[in-house]
Amino acid sequence: MIVEIGGMAVVVVSLIVVVFELRQNTDALKGATVDAIFERQQFELYWSGEIAPIFVKAIQSPSQLSAAESWQLSEWFTAAISARQNEYLQYKLGLIDENIWLTTEGIIQLMFGFGWSKDWWDVYRDVPWDDEFKQRVDYLIETSTINYDGMLDKFSKFGSE
């Protein structure tokens, strides 16, 4: 009887240790996921900064974009929306929490805050994105109140007197 109780205690302690280690591994995986997301977003900001004149032209006078400029912007959008879909899938898997996903939703709304980008989505929406993700992007575009024309006007006043 004492041996059986001792054996059960060892099993219970072993299970507690396994649960503790699993929790630590899950937390480490979530931390690495969040770090990778933020690193990717920083890279996108750097890349978008390099093509800032193209973004401004796409916002203010999209009909004046050259084919090469449209291609560059399209490539940026493809990479950026692919990253957002990856973040959505990680959110659905529980690897990122809701606050981080809400930040991603804000980024999506910023991405589609001007006409050219919405036209881009109309063309590229049928790329084989995840169906739930497409519906979420559609909703975010539909409900967005982002207006880049107004934002550019405010940006142009930074540093001026």
Predicted confidence at residue 27, as pLDDT, reads: 59
Q: How confident is the model at residue 23 (pLDDT cuts 50, 70, 90)?
A: low
Q: How confident is the model at residue 28 (pLDDT cuts 50, 70, 90)?
A: low
Alpha carbon distance 26, 123 (integer Å): 38
**pLDDT above 90 for 41:** no
Range scoring the smallest mean pLDDT among 66-70, 99-103, 146-150: 146-150
94 membership: H or E segment, kind and range: none
* Helical packing angle, 67-92 and 98-111, nearest 10°: 160
Predicted confidence at residue 35, as pLDDT, reads: 57
Q: How confident is the model at residue 30 (pLDDT cuts 50, 70, 90)?
A: low
Amino acid identity for residue 33 in this structure:
T
* Whole-prediction pTM: 0.73
Please work out, in degrees rounded to the nearest 5, the angle formed at the alpha carbon of residue 21 by the alpha carbons of 89 and 39.
Answer: 40
